[in-house]
Structure 1
Amino acid sequence: MKSIRLIMLSLALLLPICGRVTPILAQPPKSQLDVARMERDLDIMETILDKLFQEDKPGSRFLLRRNQTRGIYLPNFGVIFSIAMPLTGREWKLSHEEEIEVINAPRAGVAGKAAAEKSRRSQTLRDKILKPIVEFLGNYADAIGQLSPRDRVMVIYAPNTAFQNFEDVFVLSGGGSRTRQSGLAAWISRKDISDYRARKISEAEFKKRLKTTELSSKTQNTPDLRIMAQVLETGLKSDEDNAFRLYGDVSHLYLKDFGALFFFEIQYANRNDFNVYLQLRNYEKSMAAYEKALKRYQESLQKVATMRSRAKSKTPQVAPLPPVQVWTKMSLKDSTSRGKIHLAFRIFENRVKDYLLDYGRTVRIVRPDQWLVVSMKVRDTSDELPERVVFQVKKSVLEAFDQRKMSREQALRKIKVTRYN
């Protein structure tokens, strides 16, 4: 499925995951990972999560526009799916009423009662968010191939920050200070998923092994993460023609004992050129099918001619039709557009690597032994461009370059790039 990967609406949450997470190790050789298969699995899982969270009937849980789920594979860690969406309808009202009650509680002298009601409603909302996540992990995640038994499947939910501009969804702590609503993360090992599907453990045991944590919003405004996301947004929002540019905002996650991840989508700036390119690709495929059919027709004529020749020696052979040469001005334009798009894509990849190298060291929350990961999704991609590209580098590499212990060329080579076609 040529979907739409990566971005994503911004999470703008700093997400510290509680519990011990195995640090990511070196990326395995490409021969050990079927990249195309992993991309297909991620595409399918994204679609499933989108459907599970979609509002498809009155009174349902969420309003999720198409393709809001973003997945990423991290070697020696597993897969992470992030869902950025707004609360809507009853859930928004429920959450908003909580804050109104807490705001008015001290004046009404019923702070204790309001706090208890707030806690109850918060738990209700948490359960509603968790329900589709548990369904996904228990019934669908087993289909993700190439994961080791120790790998994790993690789903992260966080409200869409575009809706947080209204200061709608917040909770109040002591003293009346405002903090934005927390998100939720849930994860489980691949082995536990397999055991559940094989009926080796019960549904109750499966849910017991599922680890969840509230994603505290207290650290979401960490300056270094916000600045790095802003650097990527500013640097990649190009106004140039015939170039790839950022589509939407840059989202970021922080995983304890792993590092920081940044997500975004890109698209080609010259839409006319790209549409022509895609149309010509379809035209090229149609002509290939036509030539194949024509060849079969020519072979049939040749067989008929041979049969007649045997029956009547004077019957002349039917000469095969000359092959059709498809070379027109359209073909020339196709070649030109294709070349421009591929060049623009390589330039954009190099820009991402440059920003990682020049500014990644400023993300102080990431330790030297941890990772900085950038995942970009290519919108409206063709067969010849990857659907997603993941850049991955150790913080220690960036610090070594900053301290002049490593040349720029050496540091750039340390940035691992995985392209999902």
Structure 2
Amino acid sequence: MENAQKPPVSDVSAGVGLSGVVGLLVWLVICRNWPALAAAFGFSGDQGVLNGPYAALLALFFSGIPMVAWSLCVDKVHRRASTGIDWANPRPLASALETAVTKIAGLWATWAVIAVLYCLARWYWRGNYLFAMELLTALVVPLLLVSIPYVVWLDRYLVQPRDQAWHFGAMLIGREPYDRQEIYHHLRGWAVKGFFIAFMFSILPGGWEMAVTADFIGGVTNPVVFCMALINLMFMFDVQIAMVGYLLTLKPLDANIRTANPYLGGWLSALLCYPPFMLMNSGNVLDYHVNVADWAYWFEGYTALLWVWGAVLVFLTAIYAWATVAFGIRFSNLTYRGVLTNGPYRFTRHPAYLSKNLFWWLSTLPFLVTSHSLTDMVRNTAILAIVSGIYYWRAKTEEQHLLAEDAKYRAYHAWMAQNAPITRGLSKLLNLFRPRGPEIQGVN
């Protein structure tokens, strides 16, 4: 009975993400108050707020280090069997070198392929992506150098050192048999990292600048300004914590990518939500902003309603950010890195998608148009409904992937269907629209 009342234990504790938020807030306060701090400590020169791209990068350390410390010191994730590591029985160095050389060859070849793809794709060399390319270019040599001692050290303790990277290296070297399925897992996992790390680095500076320069005190008298400042702050938390998750896919932290989504539908539905494949941008196929204004425009002059509506939007954004923070160092799209069952995932299996889509509907109000055109009203509303449908498709393909990978997720999925208020309610609502087969008479 007790097991029926509670979901399976989460692979990520709430303390991981919360410690990252605390560290991030500390750095945010320092950056916002840097002129006063610089004056107090007697720093010379023109000292402004720290809202630049390198301050945004330092924020990754302020959020990432507490999360790593909590994971190791409190949750002791490095001791879990799921890491595939046996710290008590290291292999001889010579034995570790045999597998490490092959694995390093696989890793370096993978990084070379990603680098070539970056060069081929034009969108990586304009706009916000330029910062990401400059940063990744500067990291090439350090990554190559650090990977050697890291792989050799880790291979001494891995129970099965012939992992996905090793199989890819074995295929390239051609001296030992390899498993094609392991190679596919390896390539899909690094495709996720290569695509999303560049994207996340490209949007990191913009969100940080808005958070550091936001006028929270001055905006208290203006519901639109104040609520938008809080919304941008929530999005900054989401991006920063997510970026740490993409970077720390490490086995000693039990945060490695077990598998990436193997289904074509999963990749299509996810990539449609990100540039350059995003179809929701201005003028694109799924642009639902034609002749729309937004909530602030339609409710202008109704101060009380602006405060209430803005508060709802802030709440939805906070849920969205919480859904990312709850992952701690394990956030990334299209991957299986353990099962999360706490936080907002106690109420719905997809809190981020649900809150994001509700935010879009309530902030855009696509059925209200400045042109007073019925065509625009119908088009915008229908297109936003299609966008929400894409996220529903995306959610179902993620469930398909995780249900096939982990018995714990299957138990969580079943528990949510019976106990989670939002999931259970939405399932009943969707069942009303599903076609029913004809009743068979005369069957007992």
TM-score (norm 1): 0.29
Structure whose CA Rg is larger: 1
TM-score by length of 2: 0.27
